[in-house]
Chains A and B, each alone.
Chain A
Amino acid sequence: MSTSSFDALIHAPNRLQICALLSSTASIEFKTVRNELDVSDSVLSKHIKLLENASYVILDKRLHAGRPRTWLSLSPKGLNAFNGHVNALREMVG
């Protein structure tokens, strides 16, 4: 069970949206997240790298029909941090 805990890493608008998308699914492909957020590859890569370094996001690179596809998913630690952050925001708003 996640407690309320504000997480500055997650709070950045794009990273908050990335976590929101990943929390609803088992995993999402990199280009799908990029399209949903309407950002460039490099911007998304930068945010993913930060989340990956914090062990919040897991990257899974696979070949599909000869093309590399990167799947992103929230780790249990990331899911816990995201839920805690959302709870903290809700507590602030009241």
Chain B
Amino acid sequence: MKNSDKQISLEEAQAALTSLNTTKKNFENTYKPPLLFQISVAILMGLITLFTSFSSNNGPWTLILFVTTAVLLLVMASWFWVVRNQGVKLRFTPVSSKGRKLNYVLSIFVALIVVGAQLLYISGLTWVPYVAAFINASTMLYAFHKFPMGEWTKEEHSK
């Protein structure tokens, strides 16, 4: 079946979309962060959530929080540096509107968990930061697994 306006057939359009999807998937698989990196970032995010609550009473926890945050930033920067040396400059923010929305939603969710855990910890619920740390670490791991390049990619299925 030919589409007269576009001069390509339905099959050609489908094949182009499938090829596009394969190219993006192969690229993501080559340049997505390794599992060890993903787990490290998830653990660091969990620790930051935990230490933010603990640092509300000040003491040494504030310093530990700063050090953990610095380590997280260093780990992230090192990944950008490794990929750049392989010939790929990653984007700091997604280019698509869906990707940006996804980033905003995840950032707001993580921030709410951090703030909520801190408030509940101050009010006496000392177990909450541990649960919050687990939630934020799991969220980070899920985000890395599902959206390795930070983008919302649409799957093109063969019909």
- B151 surroundings in chain A (CB, below 8 A): 24
User: How far is it, in angstroms, between the C-alpha of A27 and the C-alpha of B95 when the chains are bound?
Assistant: 12
Expressed in whole angstroms, the Cα–Cα distance for A26 and B13 within the complex equals 27
Report B5 CB to chain A, min CB distance, Å: 8
Cβ–Cβ contact B16 & A11, under 8 A: yes
CB of A63 within 8 A of chain B?
A: no
Tell me whether A26 and B89 are in contact in the complex, defined as CB-CB below 8 angstroms, given that A79-B95, A93-B17 are known contacts: yes
Contact yes or no, B87 A31, CB < 8 A: yes
Residue in contact with B3 in the complex, picked from A8, A29, A79, A92, CB distance below 8 Å: A92
Contact indicator per residue, chain A 2-43, by CB within 8 Å of chain B (1) or not (0): 000010100101001100110111111101100010000000
Q: Is B88 a contact partner of A20 (Cβ separation < 8 A)?
A: no
With contacts A1-B97, A17-B23, A20-B23 taken as known, whether A32 is within 8 angstroms of B14 at the C-beta atoms is: no
Q: Restricting to B7-43, which residues have a CB under 8 Å from any CB of A?
A: 7-8, 10, 13-14, 16-17, 19-20, 23-24, 26-28, 30
- Indicate whether B140 reaches chain A with its CB closer than 8 angstroms: no
- Number of inter-chain CB pairs below 8 Å: 76
Q: Is B86's beta carbon under 8 Å from chain A?
A: yes
B111 smallest CB distance to A (angstroms)? 25
| Dominant secondary structure of chain A at its interface with chain B | helix
Are A17 and B13 in touch, CB under 8 angstroms? no
Q: A16-B19, A25-B91, A26-B89 are in contact. Are A93 and B159 (CB under 8 A)?
A: yes
Chain B residues near A25: list those with CB within 8 A: 88-91, 149
Nearest chain B CB to A5 CB, angstrom units? 10
CA distance A69 to B5 in the complex (A): 41
Interface set of A (CB-CB < 8 Å, partner B) = 1, 6, 8, 11, 13, 16-17, 20-21, 23-29, 31-32, 36, 69, 71, 79, 83, 86, 88-90, 92-93
**Which residues of B line the A interface, CB within 8 A?**
3, 5-8, 10, 13-14, 16-17, 19-20, 23-24, 26-28, 30, 86-92, 95-97, 149, 151, 154, 156, 159
